[in-house]
Amino acid sequence: MLTHTQDLGYRAAQYAITPLSKKERDNTLAALKHHYGSTAQSAFIPKNNEEAIRIDLAQAAPSLKRLGEDLREKLDRDHSLIMLSRTWIDNLDTDQRAALLFSLALQMGSPTPTDQVDKKVVWDIRALGDKMKSGHVPTFSEHADEACLHTDTQYYPAPERFMLLYYNHPAACGGGLSYCRDISCIKDEMAKTADGRWALNILETTDLPFRIPTTFTSDKAQDTCEVTFAPILSQTPHVRYRKDTLERGFALHPEYKTADVEKALSLFTQELNRADKNVSAFVQRDQLLAINNHECLHGRSEFKDIQRHAFRIRIQDRQNLT
């Protein structure tokens, strides 16, 4: 079902797919309504009978099952980022798009709730603007500023393996340019110097504090300060990083910000900020990014159009869940 169209850069590629048939689309929506009582975006929360739901959805839409398996296989083996040039669902309403993307995510693994309170799986990426509460510690999905290269849920003990980003409405202002960088590319460059190799060792062996954004804490309270301690580089995930959650973690635990850590982070961010090594693209309406969140850092430029809207679904490996 996946047809390679072009390489975008280091371990990043663009693929084309054929449209899902009306029969498989309707069967998928009917199966989802049977299990969740609705096909509204808000209906999709984790259920205990996930495997039975996955089997029913695979029978309803075998081609969607193959697409999910193919994406997972290629993200495991060949690429850390895949762009689908078109998904062919932009003629549907937003709830139906969310439903089909959720079904695709189930064929890749176990979609996880974005926050710990509402348990939403299909998350809206749109700027809160004036709706942001005072004292709220925002995540990148809630503001229109630049989102520097990062991995998702680096502030949780076990970040999700995969992530889908679907674009309903790109920024009309031309902002919101997406870019990414594979961690093996960064490590290869840093390993060329003695200082780089020293920094890699520090980042592999030193736990650092990542503060959990307010939206994703256990109670969403403004004064809740939850922190995860973990190294930036490890076997699983290969990388976890986000500058602002790390800086907020250091503010709570300054004892972790040693001279060696500061130097290692400086060398890491120096390499991370090499724009000539980034893979970048203005993602259009109805395009989809599939990302290996354990290997690929992603980001975006700032934007002014507050109508910019994307869906995000995070996906954990089924075999890694307990």
Quote the strand ranges of the chain, DSSP E. 3-9, 12-16, 81-84, 110-111, 123-125, 147-150, 162-169, 178-182, 208-211, 227-230, 279-281, 288-292, 296-300, 309-316
The candidate with the shortest Cα–Cα distance to 159, out of 84, 222, 210, 220, is 210
pLDDT recorded at residue 306: 81
Please give the Cα distance from 165 to 83 (Å, whole number). Answer: 9
pLDDT recorded at residue 223: 57
Establish how many alpha carbons lie within 13 A of residue 168's alpha carbon, considering only the half-sphere containing its beta carbon: 20
pLDDT recorded at residue 142: 61
Pairing of strands 208-211, 227-230: antiparallel
pLDDT recorded at residue 54: 97
The candidate with the shortest Cα–Cα distance to 88, out of 24, 18, 30, 32, is 18
| Residues 34 and 47: beta-carbon distance below 8 Å | no
Q: How many CB atoms lie within 10 A of CB 21?
A: 12
DSSP SS3 for 147: strand
DSSP SS3 for 239: strand
pLDDT recorded at residue 217: 57
Query: Can you give the pLDDT of all 322 residues of the chain as single tens digits?
Result: 799 999 999 999 999 999 999 999 999 999 999 999 999 999 999 999 999 999 999 999 999 999 999 999 999 999 999 999 999 999 999 999 999 999 999 999 999 997 777 788 999 988 655 544 445 455 656 656 778 999 999 999 999 999 999 999 988 888 888 999 999 999 999 999 999 999 999 999 999 999 988 666 555 555 567 899 999 999 999 999 999 999 999 999 999 999 999 999 999 999 998 988 999 988 999 999 999 999 999 998 888 878 889 999 999 987 544 3
Please give the Cα distance from 31 to 38 (Å, whole number). Answer: 10
pLDDT recorded at residue 215: 63
DSSP SS3 for 263: helix
| Residues 303 and 173: beta-carbon distance below 8 Å | yes
Instruction: Look up the pTM and report it.
Output: 0.90
